[in-house]
Structure 1
């Protein structure tokens, strides 16, 4: 695109130079991002203010519900634009960070789709983000290769489709300023990927395709639709070329699935059960109300309470509107050198995928290449066609109370200690530049860390009775929580030694987790305060 076609009064200022930025942050690409920011930045700010006001109403007792003024959309007989043929079969999708080697491994995994994740699976240091965009350029050109330890890695000829997940609307890219203010991270990731790759992907039938994270309302879906419409005109793509799959991973969005599809009806390919962020959003949204306190994370399973209703509604709505219902991520991962633990992980994934395909989901997510054939075998056996969109689920009637019903179970000292350990370990790894981290044989990302610290806050806020190791009950207060965090710090010191402890950024991680867990008001995202530390360390 000629630079003279793009006009903005406020050129972007890049604060840092990192490897690869010379061909990612070209003047033309930056001008396109600046135009997106200039055109949509104020709208985005208003949407974030609306989030704050919506949460304040819920804090005051207004429960999430179906919107009365959009009843005609929910009850109307209509469908979204047809899903393109190349996206018809999405039975197994693999997700992962935009790290070069991990991208190649995912693209060679045998999955139908690879989601290149700039969001929860990538620690958003400027180095990581620019490297990820450089990797997309090499993927576009067929030159995505990697050499390490005397080995050479390259992408196979039969690589899956690639879908990009930009960062969420609430995030900023602090290293690029426009008018002295950070550019939207969502517009930055979307703008760079579309500018550099959009026309090439469209010409070869590979996209451009996107996953949209953490939407909270149909107004935010309308925002993205307008961004897509404007960007396609500017790049020179036919309207409707961009196809997006929306992650339903916030509680309010679960009540607005029809409306979200309606707003994106010319650009939508499916909805996805973003289960881990959804659990976090449930805790965050219902934070002021003791009746909605959740038990240990291990007891918050997809086959019960609000999660089962949410999954059923997603399949029902998607199939009624003619688009894919995509299942979520099973956190279990293979365990090397432990056959028993490895088989237990595989069995867990099989059970999860059997539940999903039986409900009518058209595909699922895995986090590790070894799990692709496990999930593939389940969907091949149970879903002979490319998808199940033609299988209606209109017999399911999901009342608002069903989407709010909490899981029942105990909160145990072991559960508290696990949440502390996972939150600190994950955040320490995140500060070290890693966004997808295996912990206790589970693949953890930012969403599971958010659940861990949000539950700590919830239990401490409501003085929840904790079943201690000796079977007694004790309310969780800030003093006891501080003692348990200190005990975890001592365990980490013993395991890593003082030098490893400090090099691993465990002290910073523990401080951020404890501050978030004991704050007077639950912070929206733990990665927001941690981002400043990450930038300083990068």
Structure 2
């Protein structure tokens, strides 16, 4: 049971609606809570307005409207302007590694040889209060240069010389932080994650010319980017930093955002360093945004590669837009992980990574993402060979023409029974692990996080709720098939040693509820949040 702990900050209390966790006394000081409360009171109302605007737009989309470029911001798209100069330490970002904020992961990622480590409070971290506060403490230790870890087996980990540059990804605007209430309302997860990291580390990083740097996720409009800019300007003032000291990279991982890339860059022009192709969330967003469009149902996940027209156009338009404005165009995630017990399968997986990175570097991307330290060298080798310069800002891609129809183009392909069953299994495995407190899970030699699991979850819903969707053998896709696959997966995984094994039954009930619901839930993490320990 939660034990509310109340501290007075201003006219009303800040309530910690959670049992105390070990890192709390160090991380949630009275001064830090006052800083968080100030952010909430200044910016949360606007955040809620923007989330309401998202919902209103989705109603219009469900009624047949299609996303498009905004006529009212045409002057921004047509204007001749550039973003502010990018710091020297970020001029070469050819390989970036991402991962959760546990202590061992942070050390290994900083030591991985990647140029940047994105410490992730979002898709790869299940937001238990302990996970969040431990992560903040771990990052504070890393920034201070004192992070170490000794495993239960006695292996010691410490950061080596010349570590990767640290960036932090807070949660998206849609996610709450229920463990901290200000004036009777839960905080925004975004403001909580950003605010705590900035409060404890911004001055130290700025003094060392190493930040603070952030990755900003899940935005759907330039107005949401403008809110982030206002938050950071206020934080800079409050912490005694010059305006523009906080630098950001924005993930373009929602379908609406691809039509506002110029506007997002412009809203953050004093601090933005680039845009990133958040490909997995982008596929999920395509399904979610166009869920009512029968002619835009996607085939099974394995057939939706970056070479299909709507994804190819998205990535190439991102390159053209960024380079025109002097910002970096970062490539997407390689989700593969090493397969140590099967050399042939491992080499096949690495070949897929090389091909993906070769496509990115030849298209003009300035860098790419990997999910595992063992893939850093693989990706770096490709970029070193084909990008001898620190970046490719000189590659302007004036040949790229990506209009609305190209960006929304349907994707050909099929849905096999095996692909359908795989989506059920992936969702069930990930949900069980997530509600047990683990946000990043290896499944079938891929590192699954919330973004990849969301594709499987949204596809199941769409295939079952859109009339006339069929398997490749011509038979109709129906709830009988879903029920049978879910029952089989539930029985098998309940007897399998895996993350979240004890919660497979609960996860199966939740997946059944999400899939049968009349409306597609916006995010599985929102629905599952109340089940976290």
Tell whether the structures are fold-level matches, with TM greater than 0.5.
yes
1:401-416 to 2 correspondence within 5 Å?
401-416=405-420
1:488, CA displacement in angstroms? 1.3
Unaligned runs of 5+ in 1: 1-5
Spell out the pairing of 1:447-466 with structure 2 (5 A cutoff): 447-466=451-470
Q: Name the counterpart of 1:192.
A: 196
Deviations 1:79-121 (A, max 9, x none): 0111111110000000000011111111110100000000001
Equivalent residue, structure 2, for 1:56: 59
Are 2:423 and 1:419 aligned?
yes
- Residues 463 and 476, structure 1, Cα contact 8 Å, conserved in 2: no
In 2, Cα distance between the equivalents of 1:502 and 1:276?
23
SS at match of 2:442: strand
Cα root mean square deviation, aligned: 1.4
Q: How does 1:432-451 map to 2 (within 5 A)?
A: 432-451=436-455
Q: Check conservation: 1:11, 1:34, Cα contact below 8 A.
A: no
Q: Secondary structure at the match of 1:505?
A: helix
Equivalence for 1:3:
none
1:14 maps onto 2:12 in alignment = no
1:486, CA displacement in angstroms?
1.0
Match of 1:358 in 2: 362
Q: Cα deviation per residue 1:295-323 (whole Å; 9 max; x = unaligned)?
A: 01000000112101100100000000001
- Counterpart in 2 of 1:110? 113
* Kept after mapping to 1: 8 A contact 2:222/2:263: yes
Q: How many positions carry a matched residue from both structures?
A: 524
Unaligned stretches of 5+ in structure 2? 1-7
Asked if 2 retains the 8 angstrom alpha-carbon contact of 1:44 and 1:169, the reply is: yes
Report the 3-state secondary structure (helix = DSSP H, G, I; strand = E; otherwise coil) of the residue aligned with 2:181. Answer: strand
Preserved contact between residue 101 and residue 135 of structure 2 (Cα < 8 Å): yes
Residue of structure 2 in register with 1:474 after alignment: 475
Greater shift, 254-263 or 13-22, is seen at 13-22
After superposition, give the CA deviation of every residue in 1:11-36 in whole Å (9 maximum; x if it has no partner).
Answer: 31112210111110000011001000
**2:216 match:** 212
Q: TM-score, normalised by structure 2?
A: 0.96
Tell whether 2:379 aligns with 1:375. yes
Given candidates 332, 350, 358, the residue that maps to 2:336 is 332
1:126-275 to 2 correspondences below 5 Å: 126-148=129-151, 149-275=153-279
- Do 1:492 and 1:501's aligned partners in 2 also have CA atoms closer than 8 Å? no
On the 8 A contact 2:441/2:499 being kept in 1, the answer is no
Shift of 1:504: 2.5
The DSSP-based 3-state class of the residue aligned with 1:225 is: helix
Q: Which of 390, 409, 416 in structure 2 is aligned with 1:386?
A: 390
Cα displacement string for residues 210-240 of structure 1 (whole angstroms, at most 9, x for unaligned residues): 0000000000001001111111000000001
CA distance, structure 1, for counterparts of residue 167 and residue 502 of structure 2 = 32
- Runs (4+) of structure 1 exceeding 4 A deviation are 500-503
1:319 to 320, 323, 343: 323
In 2, the alpha carbon distance for the partners of 1:475 and 1:364 equals 39
For 1:358 and 1:11, locate their aligned partners in 2 and report how far apart those are by CA, in whole Å.
Answer: 55
For residues 423-449 of structure 1, give each alpha carbon's deviation from its aligned partner in whole angstroms, at most 9, with x where no partner exists: 000111112221111101111100111
State the partner residue of 2:487.
Answer: 486
Give the distance between the partners of 1:503 and 1:28, measured in 2 at CA. Answer: 40
* 1:71 aligned partner: 74
How far off is 1:70 after superposition? Answer: 0.5
Are 2:218 and 2:252, in contact at CA under 8 Å, matched by a contact in 1?
Answer: yes
Q: Are the equivalent residues in 1 in contact too, given 2:253–2:285 (CA < 8 A)?
A: yes
CA drift of 1:7 comes to: 6.8
Report the Cα distance in structure 2 between the residues aligned to 1:378 and 1:116, rounded to whole angstroms. 24
